[in-house]
Amino acid sequence: MFHKRLVTALAFAAIVGSIASPGWALNRHVTVVNNTGFTMVKFYGSNTGSENWEEDILGEDVLPSGSSVDINFDDDSGYCKFDFKAVFEDGDELVRQNVNVCEVATFTYN
Task: For 24, list phi and psi in degrees, rounded to 5.
Answer: -85, -10
Structure confidence by residue, pLDDT tens digits, 29-61: 999 999 999 999 999 999 998 899 989 999 999
Closest CA to 82 of 26, 5, 4: 26
Give the mean model confidence (pLDDT) for residues 79-89. Answer: 97
Q: What is the pLDDT of residue 30?
A: 98
Task: Give the CATH class of 27-109.
Answer: mainly beta
Q: Are 107 and 82 in contact (CB under 8 A)?
A: no
Higher pLDDT, 104 or 6: 104
Q: Kindly list the domain boundaries of the chain, sorted by start residue.
A: 27-109
- In the predicted structure, residue 9 carries a pLDDT above the cut 80: no
Q: Are 39 and 67 in contact (CB under 8 A)?
A: no
58-76 b/e with 16+ CB inside 10 Å = b? Answer: beeeebeeeeeeebebbee
